[in-house]
Amino acid sequence: MALWRGTSPLILASQSSARKMLLANAGLEFEAVTADIDERGIQTASRLSNPREIALLLAREKAKAVSTSHPGNYVIGADQTLALGMRLFNKSAGRAQALAQLRDLAGKSHELNSAVAVARDGKIVFEDVSVARMTMREMTEGELSAYLAAAGDAVTTSVGAYQLEGLGIHLFERIEGDHFTILGLPLLPLLAFLRRERLVAV
What residues are annotated to the active site? 79
Contact (Cβ atoms closer than 8 angstroms) between residue 99 and residue 131 = no
Give every CB contact of residue 15 below 8 A, 6+ residues apart in sequence.
32, 34
**What letter represents residue 88's amino acid?**
L
190's enclosing H/E stretch is: helix 187-196
The residues facing 84 across adjacent strands are 87
Residue 32 DSSP one-character state: E
Q: How many residues does the chain have?
A: 202
| Cα–Cα separations (whole angstroms), residue 4 to 56, 188, 197 | 25, 16, 11
Contact (Cβ atoms closer than 8 angstroms) between residue 121 and residue 67 = yes
DSSP string, 104-162: HHTTSEEEEEEEEEEEETTEEEEEEEEEEEEEEPP--HHHHHHHHHHHGGGGGSSBTT-
Report phi then psi at 89, rounded to 5. Answer: -110, 145
